[in-house]
Structure 1
Amino acid sequence: MSLFQFLKSKLFLKQLVIAVLSIAVLIFVMMKWLTMITNHNQKIEVPNLEKMSLEKVETKLQELDLNYVVVDSASYNPNYPKKSVIEQSPSVGDFVKENRKIYLTLNPSGYANVEIPDLYGKTKRQATSQLLAIGFKISPKAMYVSDIAKDVIRGLRFKGKELKAGDKIPKNSVINLKLGDGRGTGRYIQNMKREN
């Protein structure tokens, strides 16, 4: 039997129909299976989690069949509650499928502690610039002590306590400057340097 005769035979046509039907059924089953496991056309809108605590976030996301992962803590932001959500990804209003992870950035519980530099003997302007640059605030009420030099740093205070170089206090704290008044006959001595 030649190839041409075989292609025209009932046996070949029967096998061809069976093969085409098998492939069609396989494709149909695969598409249904893929639709089922990928939750095709399922949309869950990502809620606004901003300023929520982790407990509230967990409850909210469980209701929606979503998960979360804490990726980082940002710099402390006083406009947000402590340990609350500052940022989220995907964003509010995006559509996701169930069990999707929402990545969260949290607000720390407070400002990070920053080390006090050695400023003894520096001018008020130098010290103010340096303290502002590392994240502190300067009280407008400076304390003056009898000293030969005017507006030279002779100490720093925080909440009524004397600070030494190397002490650590929270960023964004208000520091009071202790300055020379320029009317003294000698230099004001205070141990502001770090003790070894």
Structure 2
Amino acid sequence: MSIFQFLKNKSFFKQITIAVIGFVILFFILKFWLNITTNHDQKIQVPNLHKLTIDEAERKLKELSLDFKVKDSASYNPDYPKRSVIEQSPEAGDFVKEMRKIYLTLNPSKYRDITIPDLNGRSKRQAISELQAIGFVVGIKYTYVKDIGKDVVRGLRHKEKILNPNDKLPKNSIIDLVLGDGNRN
């Protein structure tokens, strides 16, 4: 039997017809199954969770059948309450499906602690630059002590308490400089 005779044979056409019908039926079954399992056309709008505590955010998300995960803590932001949501992903107003996770970033309870460097013997300008670079605020109230070096750092204070190198203070703390007055007598 040659190939041309086989292609003209009725059994070949029956098999092709059965294969096409089977493919079409399989296609519609698969499409129906995917619509059911993927919740196609279901939309839940993500609420705005900014400035809410973790408990308030959890309640709000459970009402909408959404889940959440705390991703990380950001740098402290004084504009937000302590331990409140500072960022969320997906953003408020985006659409998601049921039981999807919303990733939350929380505001820490305070600024992180920074180690005080040893600035003894440095100039006032160097000390101010270094303290500001690592996140402190330098106060404008300078204390002068008798020393041969004028405007040379002889100590640091925070709220009238003497600071030692390697002490820790929260970022944005105000540090006052103790400087030499330039008179040895």
Measured against the shorter chain, the TM-score band is 0.7 to 0.9
In structure 1, give the amino acid aligned to 2:93.
G
Matched residue, 2:101: 101
**Aligned pairs (5 A) from 1:143-158:** 143-158=143-158
Q: Deviations over 1:169-193 (max 9, x none)?
A: 11110001111122342xxxxxxxx
Matched residue, 2:48: 48
In structure 1, give the amino acid aligned to 2:162.
E
How far, CA to CA, are the matches of 2:145 and 2:66 in structure 1? 62
Matched residue, 1:113: 113
**Aligned pairs (5 A) from 1:113-192:** 113-185=113-185
- Name the stretch that deviates more: 99-108 or 123-132: 99-108
Matched residue, 1:87: 87
In structure 1, give the amino acid aligned to 2:179.
L
How far, CA to CA, are the matches of 1:145 and 1:45 in structure 2? 63
Match of 1:176, SS state, is strand
Match of 2:36, SS state, is helix
Check 1:179–1:5 CA distance in 2 against 1; reply closer, same or farther (3 A cut): closer
- Name the stretch that deviates more: 93-102 or 125-134: 93-102
Superposition deviation, residue 112 in structure 1: 0.9
Matched residue, 1:194: none
How far, CA to CA, are the matches of 2:184 and 2:48 in structure 1? 61
Superposition deviation, residue 55 in structure 1: 0.6
How far, CA to CA, are the matches of 1:16 and 1:114 in structure 2? 76
Match of 1:178, SS state, is strand
Number of aligned pairs?
A: 181
Matched residue, 1:39: 39
Match of 1:70, SS state, is strand
The answer for unaligned runs of 5 or more in structure 2 is none
1:57 aligns with 2:60: no
Superposition deviation, residue 142 in structure 1: 1.0
How far, CA to CA, are the matches of 2:101 and 2:121 in structure 1? 54
The answer for unaligned runs of 5 or more in structure 1 is 186-196
How far, CA to CA, are the matches of 1:57 and 1:95 in structure 2? 17
Share of identical aligned residues, percent?
57
Superposition deviation, residue 132 in structure 1: 0.3
Q: RMSD of aligned C-alpha atoms?
A: 2.1
In structure 1, give the amino acid aligned to 2:10.
F
1:6 to 1, 7, 10: 10
Matched residue, 1:72: 72
